[in-house]
């Protein structure tokens, strides 16, 4: 049985792709969910795809080449439809089969990989779209339940040691190396899991954005299990 999401001040629930792309972000609302209960065997698709590297992009041609059961064909049709909807809208979706993302272990006081809560940034008006068809699923976090890591005194102190330039260039340094995109959950913060099959649109930090960008993170993968993820 699927656990259905509840609409909150942060999340708007819609029933179609058209509503997903048209719904305006406003106030605290910076995530829109096209909530879906998908039919089909996505596990079969994952089992028949070839993982060439830790993150392998899967093309429509790769999907069409698979010999599948009827349930597998249902799943393939859904993925191909999602890719086409986003492409027709003008987006550039990517379907990824992945074992894991690269992990950032360069510093012991801050992490800047996708497993860390973070926001996306773009120089142009856009949104992040994502859907997990199989495997562990991502989380988002209400903005008032997180603090920018660069504002935590202990972390800020260490970052200043890394900045070779004058103090006047410190903020530019933080942006240049993406430290300012990462967030630490506050005590008792409650992440919201995005669930399987739902197609999400998340607010991005860009010059014309009227709302706060959506804080999110990639999940730690389930042991021995791949993920099948659409993202753009």
Mean pLDDT of 10-16: 97
* 127 or 8, greater pLDDT: 127
The answer, yes or no, to whether residue 20 has pLDDT greater than 80, is: yes
In a domain, 179, yes or no: no
How far apart CA 226 and CA 98 sit, in angstroms, is 6
Give this prediction's pTM: 0.92
Q: How many domains does the chain have?
A: 1
DSSP state for residue 180 in the 8-state scheme: G
Counting residues of the chain whose pLDDT is more than 70, the rounded percentage is 97
Mean pLDDT of 3-10: 76
Q: pLDDT for 178-230, tens place per residue?
A: 899 999 999 999 999 999 999 999 999 998 899 999 999 999 999 999 999 99
Residue 1 neighbours by CB distance under 10 Å: 4
Nearest to 35 by CA among 207, 209, 201, 220: 201
In a domain, 70, yes or no: yes
Are 178 and 112 within 8 A, CB to CB?
A: yes
Mean pLDDT of 153-164: 88
Domain region containing 215: 11-141+187-231
Band of pLDDT at residue 1, cut at 50, 70 and 90: very low
How far apart CA 225 and CA 232 sit, in angstroms, is 22
Counting residues of the chain whose pLDDT is more than 90, the rounded percentage is 80
In a domain, 182, yes or no: no
In a domain, 219, yes or no: yes
The answer, yes or no, to whether residue 6 has pLDDT greater than 80, is: no
Q: What is the mean pLDDT of the chain?
A: 93
Q: What is the CA radius of gyration of the chain?
A: 19
pLDDT on residue 2? 46
The number of helices, as runs of H, and strands, as runs of E, in the chain is: 6, 12
Structure tokens at 50: 């070839």
């Amino acid at each position: 049985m699927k656990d259905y999401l509840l609409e909150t001040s942060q999340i708007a629930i819609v029933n179609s792709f058209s509503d997903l792309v048209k719904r305006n972000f406003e106030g605290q609302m910076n995530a829109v969910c096209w909530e879906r209960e998908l039919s089909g065997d996505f596990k079969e698709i994952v089992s028949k795809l070839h993982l060439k590297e830790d993150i392998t992009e899967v093309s429509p041609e790769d999907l069409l080449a698979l010999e599948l059961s009827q349930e597998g064909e249902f799943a393939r049709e859904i993925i191909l439809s999602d890719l086409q909807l986003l492409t027709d809208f003008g987006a550039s979706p990517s379907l990824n089969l992945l074992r894991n993302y690269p992990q950032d272990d360069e510093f012991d006081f801050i992490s800047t990989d996708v497993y860390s809560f973070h926001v996306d940034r773009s120089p142009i008006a856009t949104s992040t779209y994502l859907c997990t068809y199989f495997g562990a699923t991502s989380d988002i976090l209400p903005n008032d339940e997180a603090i920018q890591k660069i504002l935590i005194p202990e972390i800020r102190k260490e970052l200043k040691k890394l900045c070779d330039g004058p103090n006047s260039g410190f903020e530019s340094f933080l942006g240049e190396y993406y430290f300012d995109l990462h967030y630490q959950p506050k005590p008792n913060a409650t992440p919201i899991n995005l669930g399987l099959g739902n197609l999400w649109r998340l607010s991005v930090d860009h010059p014309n954005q009227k709302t706060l960008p959506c804080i999110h993170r990639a999940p730690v993968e389930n042991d021995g299990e791949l993920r099948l993820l659409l993202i753009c």
